[in-house]
């Protein structure tokens, strides 16, 4: 069986799907791995290292695609690449199956079986395959560094001969994996931190990191689904949340937002009025830009300043730390592949409680209930 890794083509992408360490593990499972020349350069993995790990390296992207039984990728492959793949071959990567379900049709038409890393269940058994958590961890960390580099203050409290400097105040909206990492990073830098999430269960995690949890009256609403994800909440709860955040934001130096509801537009938590009420020098880093953003004034992919407030809405922040992002992603992928590779061949057991649910497209159909629901909602 031939597994291939290509150089990612999206302009902002610096990650690679497999690193030499993972090639070694796959070769030990009796499969062959072929890598497009310079695919890993930005992640610190040169062609010679892939060769040494047991991969063949080739500059011929078209030939690689034609030979592939399995393409492991970071981002959803372009239609022109899919068109070169064999019918019945397999793609694994971040495919945005819930945000852009209609884009899966190219793979359906080609008879590709596609597994989305986003659909891997958040269960204990699948923990080592949880690429969403790996990337969110990096995003939360890097968001704080971005905020710290834009804010005209220092984070830690310092007592100097020239007097005392108070610590920065940081507010983190959305206390999932990215938000909790942002809280931990801001605390490490010495900031005073507050966290907010619509799932009250997140309160304990926020407090355990030494931050204060902002409570909003949820009116008895069930805000968490069976998978641990947030549900979309009522407009009344959203309004109460926005008012609480706007009040709080008046005395905050940095706000990191990471609130998401899978398959939906990001909830709007910071209104234009809330930004108008912020002090000059306040920095907002909005991590929800790929689904529209949590701040009304965010411009996905851009940083801009309004009345002295910097609003930064980076897209693909994980790619700004390519070495570790690729390392973690590749380990998640190899862990997932080890469920599927038996005696050097692919053995897709759809009754497996990880393989089945993470399949986005098989035999020209999208069967996953969340994708079907997302398609129906579009």
- Give me the active site residues, please: 122, 127, 130, 133, 229
> Which residue number is nearest to ligand NAD in terms of Cβ?
176
**Bridging pattern class, strands 345-346 and 341-342:** antiparallel
- In terms of Cβ atoms closer than 10 Å to its own Cβ (0-12, 13-18, 19+), residue 324 is middle
Cα–Cα separations (whole angstroms), residue 305 to 183, 247, 254: 24, 21, 14
Question: Is 233 a residue that touches ligand NAD (CB under 6 A)?
Answer: yes
The nearest distance, CB 352 to ligand NAD, in angstroms, is 17
What SS3 class is residue 311?
strand
Nearer to ligand NAD, 122 or 304 (CB): 122
In which element (H, E) is residue 305 found?
A: strand 303-306
Question: Is 209 a residue that touches ligand NAD (CB under 6 A)?
Answer: no
Nearer to ligand NAD, 70 or 177 (CB): 177
Nearer to ligand NAD, 50 or 115 (CB): 115
Nearer to ligand NAD, 104 or 216 (CB): 216
Cβ(17)–Cβ(333) under 8 Å? Answer: yes
The nearest distance, CB 205 to ligand NAD, in angstroms, is 7
The nearest distance, CB 133 to ligand NAD, in angstroms, is 4
Interacting residue with ligand NAD among 12, 127, 234, 363 (CB under 6 A): 127
The nearest distance, CB 4 to ligand NAD, in angstroms, is 29
Site for ligand NAD in 240-269 (CB under 6 A): 241, 258-262, 267, 269
Question: Is 228 a residue that touches ligand NAD (CB under 6 A)?
Answer: yes
Question: How far apart, in whole angstroms, are the C-alpha atoms of residue 303 and residue 71?
Answer: 35
CB atoms within 10 A of CB 30: 12
The interaxial angle of helices 322-340 and 20-28, nearest 10 deg, is 10
Interacting residue with ligand NAD among 135, 175, 321, 374 (CB under 6 A): 175
Question: How far apart, in whole angstroms, are the C-alpha atoms of residue 254 and residue 296?
Answer: 16
Question: Is 208 a residue that touches ligand NAD (CB under 6 A)?
Answer: no
Question: Is 6 a residue that touches ligand NAD (CB under 6 A)?
Answer: no
Phi, psi dihedrals of residue 317, rounded to the nearest 5°: -65, -30
The nearest distance, CB 287 to ligand NAD, in angstroms, is 9
Nearer to ligand NAD, 113 or 241 (CB): 241
Cβ(231)–Cβ(223) under 8 Å? Answer: yes
Nearer to ligand NAD, 262 or 292 (CB): 262
Instruction: DSSP letter for 352, please.
Output: S
Instruction: DSSP letter for 364, please.
Output: T
The nearest distance, CB 13 to ligand NAD, in angstroms, is 20
Cβ(71)–Cβ(92) under 8 Å? Answer: yes
In which element (H, E) is residue 356 found?
A: helix 355-358
Question: How far apart, in whole angstroms, are the C-alpha atoms of residue 66 and residue 6?
Answer: 12
Site mask for ligand NAD (CB under 6 A), range 77-116, x = bound: ----------------------------------------
The nearest distance, CB 293 to ligand NAD, in angstroms, is 13
Q: 166 is written with which tokens?
A: 């108070």
Interacting residue with ligand NAD among 8, 47, 194, 197 (CB under 6 A): 197
Q: Which residues bind ligand NAD (CB under 6 A)?
A: 122, 127, 130, 132-133, 136, 173-179, 196-199, 202, 228-230, 233, 241, 258-262, 267, 269
């Amino acid at each position: 069986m031939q597994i291939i890794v290509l150089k990612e083509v999206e302009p902002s992408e610096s990650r690679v799907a497999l690193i030499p360490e993972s090639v070694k593990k796959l070769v030990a499972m009796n499969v062959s791995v072929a890598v497009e020349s310079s695919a890993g350069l930005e992640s610190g993995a040169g062609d010679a290292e892939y060769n040494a790990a047991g991969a063949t390296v080739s500059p011929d992207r078209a030939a690689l695609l034609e030979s592939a039984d399995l393409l492991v990728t970071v981002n959803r492959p372009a239609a022109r690449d899919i068109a070169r793949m064999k019918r019945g071959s397999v793609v694994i990567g971040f495919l945005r199956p819930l945000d852009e379900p209609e884009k899966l049709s190219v793979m359906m038409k080609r008879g590709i079986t596609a597994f989305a890393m986003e659909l891997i269940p958040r269960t204990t058994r699948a923990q080592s395959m949880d690429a969403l958590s790996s990337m969110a961890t990096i995003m939360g960390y890097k968001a704080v560094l971005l905020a710290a580099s834009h804010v005209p203050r220092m984070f830690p409290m310092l007592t100097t001969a020239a007097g005392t400097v108070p610590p920065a105040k940081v507010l983190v909206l959305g206390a999932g994996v990215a938000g909790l990492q942002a809280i931990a990073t801001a605390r490490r830098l010495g900031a005073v931190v507050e966290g907010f999430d619509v799932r009250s269960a997140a309160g304990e995690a926020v407090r355990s990191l030494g931050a204060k949890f902002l409570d909003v009256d949820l009116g008895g609403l069930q805000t968490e689904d069976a998978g641990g994800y947030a549900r979309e909440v009522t407009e009344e709860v959203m309004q109460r949340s926005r008012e609480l955040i706007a009040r709080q934001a008046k005395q905050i130096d940095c706000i990191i937002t990471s609130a998401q509801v899978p398959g939906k537009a990001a909830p709007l938590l910071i209104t234009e009025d809330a930004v108008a009420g912020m002090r000059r020098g306040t920095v907002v880093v909005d991590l929800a830009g790929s689904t529209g953003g949590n701040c009304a004034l965010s411009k996905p992919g851009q940083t801009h300043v309004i009345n002295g407030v910097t609003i930064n809405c980076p897209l693909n922040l994980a790619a700004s730390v390519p070495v570790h992002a690729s390392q973690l992603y590749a380990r998640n992928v190899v862990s997932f592949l080890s469920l599927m590779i038996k005696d050097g061949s692919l053995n897709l057991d759809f009754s497996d409680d990880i393989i089945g649910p993470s399949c986005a497209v098989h035999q020209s159909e999208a069967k996953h209930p969340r994708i079907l629901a997302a398609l129906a909602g579009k």
